[in-house]
């Protein structure tokens, strides 16, 4: 009798978990049938996770896809897999270390010299890691925001020349817990202080708010150019973003991630929607989740003064002003 009850309880648990995955944890799919032959896309951090899945989909649609990555070995392994899966040989590696502004400039120079057009820029790479960048910025701020800011600005003219074109920046719902502390940025070149697992997570949240504000301000500056931009929340996705986290953080988070987070294919869908879906051009600057714009976004993500100040400070940090 006890065994039967245990089996019944186990069956209910498995059934409930399956039902949860098929309802609350199931994410919408990008439904665009767009073909991308003759188009060129850059995907940062494309050797793993959401970036790799995004690059795979774009390659399958016929695009020339640039994998902008720091690790050449892992990027080349991803390229071989993408070519094998899609039959598209127009998938290439270009060195990009977002923790180095010089590397960002070198990447942009190499790209502009070797490629004639740019239709899609997917600012996908992100990390949650302590330490400083080559230029003395907090690693999370430097990689998640500043490196992508400089990359986008340096490629804007090519995006405009290839219009209609799009910029998609992978943000996160974590922006809701973020803030932009300009005093910390100007004094320490950091989004916050401390290096515990929770403090790194806080900085990650702050950087995701920077992503959303960057996209909001970028859209204003691109009005009338036929270049549109979007920020996205990919969902709760199993990626390698927490690989640098400490032991206790991993101990707490790993069971949650395994049970309740979605795969990278699910995580790429809103990125692909914003990159490919026709008829969303008027929503440039908006934040998307589950393949739809979030119209009731928090006011701090639509603060004109904060967005403008972040842009101007980022220009100064990058030596653009």
Q: In a 10 Å sphere around its CB, with 0-12 CB exposed, 13-18 middle and 19+ buried, how is residue 80 labelled?
A: exposed
Q: Quote the tokens at residue 222.
A: 């691109």
CA separation for the pair 31, 33 (Å, rounded): 6
Q: In a 10 Å sphere around its CB, with 0-12 CB exposed, 13-18 middle and 19+ buried, how is residue 137 labelled?
A: buried
Catalytic, out of 17, 175, 198, 204? 204
CA 114-119-125 angle, 5° bins: 85
H helix or E strand, kind and range, residue 166: strand 165-170
Q: Fill in the DSSP letter of residue 237.
A: B
CA separation for the pair 66, 41 (Å, rounded): 6
Our answer to whether residue 204 is catalytic in this structure is: yes
Are the beta carbons of 55 and 91 closer than 8 angstroms? yes
Residue bearing tokens 């990919």: 234
Q: Fill in the DSSP letter of residue 190.
A: S
- DSSP H helices in the chain: 2-22, 49-60, 72-86, 101-114, 139-141, 148-161, 182-188, 197-221, 247-260, 264-267, 269-276, 304-317
CA 311-320-283 angle, 5° bins: 35
Q: Considering Cα of 116, then 120, then 121, then 125, what sign does the dihedral take?
A: negative
Q: Which residues are catalytic?
A: 204
């Amino acid at each position: 009798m006890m065994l039967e009850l245990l089996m019944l309880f186990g069956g209910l648990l498995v059934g409930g978990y399956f039902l949860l995955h098929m309802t609350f944890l199931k994410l919408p799919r990008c439904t665009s049938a767009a073909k991308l032959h003759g188009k060129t896309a850059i995907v940062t951090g494309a050797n793993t996770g959401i970036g790799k899945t995004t690059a795979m989909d774009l390659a399958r649609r016929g695009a020339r896809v640039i994998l902008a990555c720091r690790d050449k070995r892992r990027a080349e392994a991803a390229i071989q897999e993408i070519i094998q899966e899609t039959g598209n040989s127009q998938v290439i590696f270009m060195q990009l270390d977002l923790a180095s502004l010089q590397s960002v400039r070198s990447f942009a120079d190499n790209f502009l010299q070797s490629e004639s057009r740019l239709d899609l820029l997917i600012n996908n790479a992100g990390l949650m890691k302590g330490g400083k960048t080559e230029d003395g910025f907090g690693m999370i701020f430097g990689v998640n925001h500043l490196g992508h800011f400089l990359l986008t600005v340096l490629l804007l003219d090519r995006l405009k020349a290839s219009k209609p074109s799009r910029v998609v920046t992978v943000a996160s719902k974590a922006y809701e817990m973020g803030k932009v502390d300009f005093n910390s940025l100007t004094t320490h070149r950091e989004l916050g202080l401390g290096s515990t697992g929770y403090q790194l997570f806080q900085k990650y949240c702050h950087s995701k708010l920077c992503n959303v504000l960057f996209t909001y301000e970028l859209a204003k500056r691109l009005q009338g150019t036929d270049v549109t931009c979007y920020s996205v929340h990919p969902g709760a996705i199993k990626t390698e973003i927490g690989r640098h986290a400490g032991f206790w953080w991993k101990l707490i988070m790993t069971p949650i991630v395994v049970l309740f987070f979605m795969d990278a294919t699910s995580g790429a869908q809103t990125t692909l929607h914003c990159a490919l879906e026709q008829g969303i051009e008027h929503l440039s600057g908006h934040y998307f989740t589950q393949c739809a714009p979030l119209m009731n976004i928090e006011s701090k993500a639509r603060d004109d003064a904060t967005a403008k100040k972040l842009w101007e400070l980022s220009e100064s940090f990058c030596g653009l002003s």
